[in-house]
Chains A and B, each alone.
Chain A
Amino acid sequence: MFLLLPFDSLIVNLLGISLTVLFTLLLVFIIVPAIFGVSFGIRKLYMKTLLKIFAWATLRMERGAKEKNHQLYKPYTNGIIAKDPTSLEEEIKEIRRSGSSKALDNTPEFELSDIFYFCRKGMETIMDDEVTKRFSAEELESWNLLSRTNYNFQYISLRLTVLWGLGVLIRYCFLLPLSVCVLPKPKEFLSKHVHLMCYRICVRALTAIITYHDRKNRPRNGGICVANHTSPIDVIILASDGYYAMVGQVHGGLMGVIQRAMVKACPHVWFERSEVKDRHLVAKRLTEHVQDKSKLPILIFPEGTCINNTSVMMFKKGSFEIGATVYPVAIKYDPQFGDAFWNSSKYGMVTYLLRMMTSWAIVCSVWYLPPMTREKDEDAVQFANRVKSAIARQGGLVDLLWDGGLKREKVKDTFKEEQQKLYSKMIVGNHEDRSRS
């Protein structure tokens, strides 16, 4: 027993020293800069080093693949089939022309071969469509040393495996505990300044490296801030650079706890699920909030659901009907360092946060676009589309007309009717002006 005493005290001393070092590091590098909003530039260096390592890793895998005479599986983000963008009319005319020897005049008629157009278009969508792939994480063309994004397991050499193992060690044993230690406690939210500080600390906890552009266009009181939605982290990113009032559904679980804590500090607008269905009620409450100039700008994500950050989907028109100034914000994540997309059908909140904290970093760019207001001859839907296009253009995202709700529901029949209308014109012509009931 006595022999162990000197070792005991040694271990205790070592433990004490390492804990002190850890906390000092925490304080100096994370908490103090967060309070004062200052940065050391260490994270930029970290990013650069990581990028170099990723490029090397991909080269090694390609070499490994070439040795075995195989081709590396490269995911295509733009679709896996060759499509040509001709319209329904042109295609069907083409098909008819190639099939019949008689001279084609423009009389409307039906041909047996018309079916080929719909058949092929249908098959193309089964092989590859614009929407389904937006609800799963974006696939990277080079590997970022996270096993969750690897498609070519069999080409990893020994050196690469060692590197990957090192990466795992660093991420789980260093980044993760760091993040967990630094998480703010919800009970200490007192005022909006403390709010801001806590968001900044969160940002550091997630090793997030954010670049803000055009901060002069930041949302002001009495306005509505709209942004594209990829994950709950969007909120943290925006709120660490400005004061906002949040709008959203009341959630259960971890999110619910956070929401309730936030309400005590600032006036947010939370809704019960049943209230959301009543659009007038929602619109009324938002209008009241917006008209009070002392209240903070509202932060809304009009897509209504998380999309995987390669595209922007239809904006719900509710927030655009109110008539306030809209401040669009584009958020684009760099997927190489860690994919921020929250696939809510695959991961719960806690799993998602764990994945975030064990990624290399969350790197993103935020652009504050100049404010927009609804023009006189524009309706809410057109206004929403205009804002959406601006955000898509700035963020380099694909601008889609599809509804993000397609994640969970089927598409409405009205779209099919449009296709049917187009085709009917070809076989019976325009002289029939049918008024539909």
Chain B
Amino acid sequence: MGARASHAAAVPGAERIRRETGFSQACLLRLHHRFQALDRNNKGYLSRVDLQQIGALAVNPLGDRIIDSFFPDGNHQLDFPGFVRVLAHFRPVDEEDPGVRDPKQPEPLNSRMNKLRFAFQLYDLDRDGKISRNEMLQVLRLMVGVQVTEEQLESIADRTVQEADEDGDGAVSFLEFTKSLEKMNIEQKMSIRILK
């Protein structure tokens, strides 16, 4: 590992990635180092297998869903900008006043809305913008494994969808999702701070 020096010039497209994600130079360097460490065969990109080999991720009940979020639209290769783009959702929110954001600029990846969108798509398996009762059931099953009976899980799924569903279509849309979580301190719970 020591044979490869990872400094700013070696990170491809560093300037563009910084603007898009808001990561500092130092953080980008560390993430690039990590990307290279995960890329076991020095392919230059990550495949699903590379992420599946992380032991601590494989024991996470939602490990596969999380890995899926890195490979949208049927991609099989994850390059460094894509890697950082997903991780940027978890960048802690900047302390500057968010009210003075320029409306013409695209919303930063780590905004409250985008963090919620990320969590939403972990539930929304077919990406149709709604969490159906079936999808809720499937995700619940992932989280509990074989520890809970089908009836118990179904009653939990029904209750959850009912509570959040406002327009009565039997599914939870993104707006309904955000409404039910409006008091949640998302900024803190969905943030990971990278040491300088």
Chain A residues near B (Cβ < 8 Å) = 71, 73, 75-76, 79-82, 95, 98-101, 109-133, 136-137, 139-140, 146, 148-154, 339, 343, 345, 402, 406, 410-411, 415-421, 423-424, 427-428, 432, 434, 436
Contact = CB atoms under 8 A, between A and B. Distances in A.
Given A113-B189, A127-B192, A411-B55, 4 more contacts: A127-B34, A148-B2, A416-B60, A434-B149
Nearest to B83: A126
Contacts of B58: 410-411, 415-416
A146 B193 CA distance: 32
Contacts of B191: 120
A87 B185 CA distance: 19
Given A80-B195, A122-B63, A150 B5 contact: yes
A80 B40 CA distance: 19
Contacts of B9: 154
B184 A428 contact: no
Interface string B30-43: 11011001101000
Q: Which of B9, B61, B90 has the most chain A CB atoms closer than 10 A to its own CB?
A: B61
A95 B52 CA distance: 27
B175 interface: no
Interface in B95-153: 118-119, 122-123, 139-140, 143-149, 152
A140 B160 CA distance: 50
Contacts of A153: 5, 7
Nearest first, the 10 closest Cβ-Cβ pairs linking A and B are A136-B1, A420-B145, A424-B147, A99-B184, A125-B56, A122-B66, A415-B59, A149-B2, A118-B62, A82-B193
B183 A98 contact: yes
A423 B194 contact: no
Contacts of A119: 62, 66, 118-119, 122, 190
B55 A129 contact: yes
B87 interface: yes
Interface residues of B, number: 66
18 contacts: A73-B29, A80-B195, A82-B192, A100-B183, A109-B156, A110-B160, A113-B189, A115-B143, A117-B189, A118-B60, A118-B143, A120-B189, A126-B51, A127-B31, A410-B53, A420-B144, A423-B144, A428-B152
A411 B143 contact: no
Contacts of B59: 411, 415-416, 418-419
B171 interface: no
Contacts of A123: 66, 87, 90, 192
B2 A139 contact: yes
Contacts of B144: 420, 423-424, 427-428
Contact of A82 (B2, B55, B122, B195): B195
B66 A110 contact: no
A131 B164 CA distance: 40
A81 B66 contact: no
A162 B61 CA distance: 54
Given A118-B60, A427-B156, A406 B195 contact: no
Contacts of B194: 80-82, 127
Contacts of A149: 2
Contact of B62 (A122, A130, A146): A122
A133 B63 contact: no
A328 to B, nearest CB: 25
Nearest to A73: B29
Contact of B40 (A122, A154, A345, A417): A345
A423 B143 contact: yes
B55 A402 contact: yes
Given A98-B184, A151-B6, A420 B54 contact: no
B190 A148 contact: no
A48 to B, nearest CB: 24
